[in-house]
Structure 1
Amino acid sequence: MAASRDHRVHFSLFFWVLTFSFSAGWFGGGENEQRKLSVELNPGLTPSAPPPPPGVALLHVRALGRNDTLHFLLCSQGAPALLLVHTDSASSAVQVDWPAFLARNTSGSLRVEPQSSVLFSSAVVFSRLWEYDDANDTADPQRLPPSGFFPPYELQNFTWSGLDNRTLDPAAPSARLCGGDGSPGFANGSFCLQVSFFASEGRGQDWPRLLHTANSSQIRVWLDGVPPRANRSRFSLELQAVGGAYPPDRVEVLRSIDDEYTPSIFKVSQWVSSPANSSSAAPGFVQWKPVAYRRPGPVLEDATPCRHSAPLPPRRAPPASGLLRAFYGPEPQTSALNVSFGLTGEPFYSSTRFLSWTFLVGVGSPPVDSFSPLVLSIMAVGLGTPMILLLLGGVCVCMRKRATPPAAYEPIN
């Protein structure tokens, strides 16, 4: 009996140690990297130099780590683009030859020095905004004939505003770009980007509440008040990715059982690169949850699913962005995909005349959502309660057996 009690005690201790270790592994999350952020508009442009044309600006956010530096460069020359350069030096710096940079025909007019410190670079370009007449409510632009599409909005032809010292917040670095092409369609509407930069790991305040790290930035894209060209219009956004020798070339879809932070969404999509030797170059990523919102203040009722096309194979192509031509050259390796908004049966764009979508751009491994404390608590109660009941039941049975004396034999007459 004593040996049996010892086994039960050991099993109980093992169970609680295992539960504590499991919970600590999820809650701990590993080391939270910290970076020091600094913001600079039009780096290296002296007051005596000619100013950039209206609507053209270059934002540089420097994220300094212990032994490395991330350089985020957001530019509104041509199609808006975000360039990310990762170096192994704490003193690397951005150098811009402004006359050549503004001419948009000179490669190498933007560099990160020393060039030998560059470990990895990648960029995302917003190249086109497609509008199509979804008369049959298929919500699949790949099944439409070319006649179903309206002429695309070429974002490289837009005039951009908002990237200036008045709109920058050094305490919580972010920048906003809004633009239009001067056509009647954009007379009362706009296409906007909100780019946020982070010093440490955290989570967005608004849905879809993406988990970010100090190695990533968040971009929120929205279309507001643009008159649709058909009663059943839907939109699709074309993204181009440039990544040096290894541009993003595949999309991974990860699944989860936890939707606490983004209700009703159990997936996350990652557009990642496939370097030949992952130990020699840190991969970059574009990460999002397949959901958009039809109103400025996201709520569950206004969520609408989105889908992505398969990435086109990397190819040499002239970039639509002056920033990428200046950094990568006239024909960098470029990949592209489309993100379309809405599914069959979902309201069309005309219902609210608003669409917003949020994603991350970063270097290294994409952030991974672990189970939230609420889900862990439910799991602990669901798994722990039956075990506790079994242990208590076993103890009660043993105590009852010990308290009951063995039955005595009655004499036989």
Structure 2
Amino acid sequence: MATTRGLGHVVSVVVLFISFAILTNGYTPKRQLNTYLNPGCVKDCGGGLAYVKARGDMDTLHFVFTTVGTPTALVIRTNTLADREHDRLSFNWDKLRSNDSAGAVYTDNPQTKVLYSYGLMFTRLFQYNDTSDDADLSHYSAPSSELTVFDFLDNVTMWENLLDTSSDELIILKIQQTDPDLSTAIMNGSLTIQFHMFDHEDRADDLPHLQYNEDTTHFDFILQDIDTGNRSNARYGLETIFFSEDADKGDMTIEDVKSIDDEYSPGVFSINNLLSRPAVKANGGFLQWKPICYMKPARARSVATAVKKYGPQTLTAEDKTNTGFVKNSIAYAFYGGHKIIDVKMSYSNFSFGLSKDGFFTKNNYTAWTGSLGYGVPPADKVSTLVISVISAGLGLPVVLMVFGGLFVCMKNKFGKKAKTTSFSENRIN
């Protein structure tokens, strides 16, 4: 009985450990988030600007999301001041709306020190008629009857006011319509870029379940119900510009990190990181994504398709000067004309789709998730739950065998008293 009770205690401990791993979901906020929509703007705010201040003990991250000019996410890392009221960014809307926005984003507290800054511009959307079904954007170039290019600048694209779409923890940039003169237009919220804010570390609820922490923001790039015209084989691609303020002039690079574990994204064994400072990841910015997107709002492996990357390609000083996307961005408003030349920039294209997946027109929906953050990019690893289950699966049989063997041995030794017969008692008289 004692052995049986001991075995029961061991099993109970293992079960409690697994239950703890499953049920524990508490967290401690590591940053205090404050969201301001169109701060300082009274009228004529365009698509608008969202400013999120993520205040921590060691530093403060200032996230700026806007469709004023080129749709951009700008992140500025500063020291954290004791003066909470003035520990924030300021915006000059007259300059933001002018032809030269340099100096429109600034810190007016002399004690504020900018430690680092980086961000991501969404510049152009490509729609191409993939008649060969090879899902390769590089096979098409403009101008072409098979390729339509949508510029995201506000003189071509009208954006909905984010005051009507956003909340404290979810910033939504949504196209109202593109230029109606285009052969195929995007209208009625068919293109959405939404940013999720976090004050702790965890994983996203939706596939591909990217990790996040207090130094990151997740974005969803969503296309749905777009009139593709006569292009029954339509696919889409996206152009982005990733930028950072760096004394290091080394090129940005994309690393492809392999994993043997697909617990969170079934069938996906890699993750991509575009790094602003490849040599010192801990002090740089990153763009992270898994090479997968989804063709229905209810994300599942059965409706997954591929994301293909092209680049990155470094922008030259001439590119930065002559590219309208840069000159008309919130990045230019922050860095200014004299400093924008020294900002490291690279553009990358992404295409959505895989051969024989039915094209975009199969479901008229594509959603791609990425992460923009500071520091070392999160890496997939086997979770505590999986380790617990594996340990239980391998350990319990061993425990049962050991304790079972001991129980049998002890029972055989002490459970019976063997009766021994002497020779003298059985001799024949």
Instruction: Place the TM-score, normalised by the shorter chain, in its bin.
Output: 0.7 to 0.9
Query: Given the superposition, is the C-alpha separation of residues 148 and 159 from structure 1 closer, same or farther in structure 2, using an over 3 Å criterion?
Result: closer
Between the aligned partners of 1:29 and 1:269, the Cα distance in structure 2 is 27
One-letter identity of the residue aligned with 2:310 = S
Q: Deviations over 1:47-69 (max 9, x none)?
A: 4xxx336x342211111112321
> What is residue 153 of structure 1 aligned with on the other side?
150
Secondary structure in structure 2 of the residue aligned to 1:327? helix
Within the candidate set 261, 267, 271, 2:270 is matched to 267
RMSD: 3.8
> What is residue 346 of structure 1 aligned with on the other side?
357
Between the aligned partners of 1:19 and 1:315, the Cα distance in structure 2 is 59
2:178 corresponds to 1:175 = no
1:23 CA drift (Å): 11
> What is residue 292 of structure 1 aligned with on the other side?
293
> What is residue 39 of structure 2 aligned with on the other side?
43
1:234 CA drift (Å): 1.3
Unpaired segments ≥5 residues, structure 1? 1-8
Between the aligned partners of 1:273 and 1:187, the Cα distance in structure 2 is 32
Between the aligned partners of 2:208 and 2:281, the Cα distance in structure 1 is 30
2:63 corresponds to 1:64 = no
Q: Deviations over 1:376-397 (max 9, x none)?
A: 3431233213421442355257
> What is residue 214 of structure 1 aligned with on the other side?
214
1:177 CA drift (Å): 2.4
Secondary structure in structure 1 of the residue aligned to 2:311? coil
Taking only the aligned residue pairs, the percentage that are identical comes to: 27
Residues 60-139 of structure 1 aligned to structure 2 (within 5 Å)? 60-90=51-81, 91=84, 92-114=87-109, 117-139=113-135
Query: Given the superposition, is the C-alpha separation of residues 209 and 160 from structure 1 closer, same or farther in structure 2, using an over 3 Å criterion?
Result: farther
Secondary structure in structure 1 of the residue aligned to 2:262? coil
> What is residue 5 of structure 1 aligned with on the other side?
none
Secondary structure in structure 1 of the residue aligned to 2:273? strand
1:231 CA drift (Å): 1.9
Secondary structure in structure 2 of the residue aligned to 1:326? helix
Between the aligned partners of 1:17 and 1:120, the Cα distance in structure 2 is 47
- Is contact 1:108–1:327 with CA below 8 Å preserved after alignment? yes
- Is contact 1:208–1:262 with CA below 8 Å preserved after alignment? yes
Between the aligned partners of 1:142 and 1:20, the Cα distance in structure 2 is 54
- Is contact 1:283–1:363 with CA below 8 Å preserved after alignment? yes
* Structure 1, 247-256 or 353-362: larger mean CA deviation: 247-256
1:256 CA drift (Å): 4.0
Query: Given the superposition, is the C-alpha separation of residues 278 and 168 from structure 1 closer, same or farther in structure 2, using an over 3 Å criterion?
Result: closer
Q: How many equivalent residue pairs?
A: 394
Between the aligned partners of 1:137 and 1:32, the Cα distance in structure 2 is 48
* Structure 1, 161-170 or 206-215: larger mean CA deviation: 161-170
Between the aligned partners of 1:285 and 1:113, the Cα distance in structure 2 is 27
Query: Given the superposition, is the C-alpha separation of residues 111 and 23 from structure 1 closer, same or farther in structure 2, using an over 3 Å criterion?
Result: farther
Between the aligned partners of 1:159 and 1:264, the Cα distance in structure 2 is 37
2:238 corresponds to 1:237 = yes
Query: Given the superposition, is the C-alpha separation of residues 212 and 72 from structure 1 closer, same or farther in structure 2, using an over 3 Å criterion?
Result: same
- Is contact 1:228–1:349 with CA below 8 Å preserved after alignment? no
2:375 corresponds to 1:379 = no
> What is residue 406 of structure 2 aligned with on the other side?
395
- Is contact 1:37–1:63 with CA below 8 Å preserved after alignment? yes
1:300 CA drift (Å): 3.4
Between the aligned partners of 1:98 and 1:269, the Cα distance in structure 2 is 36
One-letter identity of the residue aligned with 1:354 = Y
One-letter identity of the residue aligned with 1:322 = S
1:237 CA drift (Å): 0.9
Between the aligned partners of 1:278 and 1:340, the Cα distance in structure 2 is 26
State the TM-score, normalizing by the size of structure 2.
0.78
Q: Deviations over 1:268-288 (max 9, x none)?
A: 222222255567xx2211122
Between the aligned partners of 1:268 and 1:27, the Cα distance in structure 2 is 27
1:74 CA drift (Å): 0.8
Between the aligned partners of 2:18 and 2:256, the Cα distance in structure 1 is 27
* Structure 1, 143-152 or 349-358: larger mean CA deviation: 143-152
> What is residue 203 of structure 1 aligned with on the other side?
203
Between the aligned partners of 2:14 and 2:302, the Cα distance in structure 1 is 40
Between the aligned partners of 1:295 and 1:337, the Cα distance in structure 2 is 25
* Structure 1, 113-122 or 357-366: larger mean CA deviation: 113-122
- Is contact 1:71–1:86 with CA below 8 Å preserved after alignment? yes
Within the candidate set 38, 44, 47, 1:52 is matched to 44
Query: Given the superposition, is the C-alpha separation of residues 130 and 206 from structure 1 closer, same or farther in structure 2, using an over 3 Å criterion?
Result: same
Within the candidate set 133, 148, 160, 1:162 is matched to 160
Between the aligned partners of 1:25 and 1:205, the Cα distance in structure 2 is 17
* Structure 1, 175-184 or 288-297: larger mean CA deviation: 175-184
State the TM-score, normalizing by the size of structure 1.
0.80
Secondary structure in structure 1 of the residue aligned to 2:148? coil
Q: Deviations over 1:41-93 (max 9, x none)?
A: 23334x4xxx336x342211111112321111011122200001111223432
Between the aligned partners of 2:93 and 2:232, the Cα distance in structure 1 is 45
Q: Deviations over 1:146-201 (max 9, x none)?
A: 6585131111244333334333323x443332243223522545321112212223
One-letter identity of the residue aligned with 1:140 = D
Between the aligned partners of 1:302 and 1:328, the Cα distance in structure 2 is 42
1:265 CA drift (Å): 2.9
Between the aligned partners of 1:381 and 1:236, the Cα distance in structure 2 is 46
